[in-house]
Amino acid sequence: MFEFTESIDIEAGNDVVWQLMSDLGRWWPKSNPEHDQLQYLDDPPLHEGSRLRIKERIAGIPGVAVGTITRFEPGKVVTWEADGARYRLAGLRITLDEGVRWELEALPDSQPAATRVSATVWARFPGRGGSLVERGFRLGGGVRKDREHARTELAYLKRTIES
């Protein structure tokens, strides 16, 4: 398993940041060129229990994941988790469990108002060959590229909200 956290400070109040972040369909598809599709499997607005299907590339590896919002605290945190996400690399099917937790933290005493947004990303490679697949992903720079993927999303949020 691997896990990492990337953060960015956005010059806007927590309410402004949450308004955009909680509308995944508005920002997520545009936030990274590796994002191909976001599909709500339940009617918006987003809430705990909402199911989402995403198509994206991580480290250039195309995949599809169906996940659930497992935690949703307005103005604070939203967590998405997918068991059995499917990626394809050189004709091989890779299955993994993955998730992301976006957290907002108002930065006290900041003028103008500012909010820190953190994305904690994790992946677990289950099954008999999981540790071998994870080792290959790490050696191929996959974790580094996944961190870049998360930073790209956060930078998009910052540019969009601050402009």
User: Where in the sequence is the domain holding 58, given as residue range(s)?
Assistant: 2-162
Would you state the structure tokens that stand for residue 126, as one six-digit string?
């289950």
Residue 119: exposed, middle, or buried by beta-carbon count in 10 A (0-12, 13-18, 19+)? buried
Residue 75 half-sphere exposure toward CB, CA atoms < 13 A? 5
SS3 letters across 73-115: ECCCEEEEEEEEEEEEECCEEEEEEEEEEEEEEEECCCCCCEE
What would the pLDDT profile of 13-59 be if each residue is shown by its tens digit?
999 999 999 999 999 999 999 999 999 999 989 999 999 999 999 98
In tens, the pLDDT along 76-96 reads 999 999 999 999 988 889 999
pTM: predicted TM-score of the whole model, two decimal places: 0.95
For 62-84, letters b (16+ CB in 10 Å) and e give ebebebbbeebeeeebbbbbbee
Query: Considering its fold, how many domains does the chain have in total?
Result: 1
Q: CATH number, domain at 85? A: 3.30.530.20
